[in-house]
Amino acid sequence: MIRLALKTSTWNPTETEWLRAANTISEAERDRISQFMYKRDAKQSMAGRLLMRNCFSQLSGAFPESFVLSRDTSGKPYLVNPPATLTALSFNVSHAGDYATFAGSNSAKVGVDVMKVELRRNTTVEQFFGHMKRQFTDFEWQRIRSPGSDRGKLFNFYRYWCLKESYVKAIGTGLKFGLLKIEFDIGRMEDDICRTTTVAIDGVIDSDWRFEEVYLDNHFITIAVQGEDSTREHVEDNVKVVKFDDLIVSKDMLDDEKYFFSFNEKKECP
């Protein structure tokens, strides 16, 4: 299993970096990124694509820019005509808060979700929970609200949110699956990691699934895993935080400086 995180909030790409990154992705991906209004969103989308292509390149030995990606009807990216080494690869990306994250496995089905533990200004925890009422079962709300402090409740909320989303992203449906059909019983976090959480679908525990929950730098990163991961001996490995320089990206720069200016002119988030 490959588990990566790139801290996008502190990534301030130089012109060379951005043009190399832009050369690593497809024209359609560049077009999409050029449409974002904020730098934050452009960086996160770019980081997601780089993480995916980095993994494909690492596993197959081919150049990261050589892969063709498309999306299925639910929006989930997949590889078009993957080389033999990647036909069984399940992969997924998530970006939120300060991070873009990636999980990939050659034998298990995976989905990843990241969320920053935060509360909008001028909102109370209970007001926030009020908007999310229909996303969790009564049992889950009981668990979410069980800590005495607001911070503890918020922490549990995001933990549950990431669990639900990692699952619906692994199966590929996204949120239309219906989050109330999925019920989690969360395990104890030890050293900011938990691997003992279980899931029930329509009331029946599904032991084919396991969940890797990592609390890192005020974010939850959760990977849903169905089936055996062939690299299970590395199960204690944590999410690896990488920098742009650690990624395999194109050696060549995109021969169009305008592309960097369009990035540089995007707004900072309010």
In the complex, minimum distance from the CB of residue 190 to ligand COA, in angstroms, rounded to a whole number: 25
- The count of residues interacting with ligand COA (CB under 6 A) is 19
Minimum separation from the CB atom of position 154 to ligand COA (A): 11
Does residue 68 interact with ligand COA by CB under 6 A? no
Separation of alpha carbons 36 and 137, rounded Å: 35
How far apart are CB 97 and ligand COA at their closest, in Å? Answer: 10
φ/ψ region of 155 (left if φ > 0, alpha if ψ in -120 to 50, else beta) reads alpha
For the segment 105-124, give every residue that binds ligand COA (CB under 6 A).
Answer: 113
Give min distance, CB of 42 to Mg ion, in A.
Answer: 18
Give the residue from 33, 38, 43, 56 showing the smallest Cα distance to 6: 43
- Using CB under 6 A as the binding rule, whether residue 165 contacts ligand COA is answered as yes
Q: For residues 16 and 178, which CB has a smaller minimum distance to ligand COA in the complex?
A: 178
Pairing of strands 2-7, 240-242: parallel
Residues 37-66 contacting ligand COA, CB under 6 A? 45, 48
Q: What are phi and psi of 221, to 5 degrees?
A: -120, 120
Sign of CA dihedral 243, 247, 252, 258: negative
98 binds Mg ion (CB under 5 A): no
- Cβ contact 159:186 at 8 Å: yes
x/- track of binding to ligand COA for residues 230-249 (CB under 6 A): --------------------
- Give φ, ψ of 141 to 5 degrees: -60, -35
Q: Are 213 and 163 contacting, i.e. CB atoms less than 8 angstroms apart? A: yes
76 binds, among Mg ion, ligand COA, none (CB under 5 to 8 A by kind): ligand COA
The tokens describing 64, both together, are: 């990261």
Q: Indicate which single residue of 113, 140, 212, 213 sits in contact with Mg ion (rule: CB under 5 A).
A: 113
**What is the β-pairing status of strands 90-96 and 99-105?**
antiparallel
Q: How many residues does the structure list for the chain?
A: 270
End-to-end alpha carbon distance in the chain: 36
- To ligand COA, the closest distance from the beta carbon of 144 in angstroms equals 13
Among 94, 197, 222, 250, binds ligand COA (CB under 6 A): 94
Binding stretches for ligand COA (CB under 6 A) = 45, 48, 74-77, 92-96, 113, 161, 165, 168-169, 172, 174-175
Binding stretches for Mg ion (CB under 5 A) = 94, 113, 165
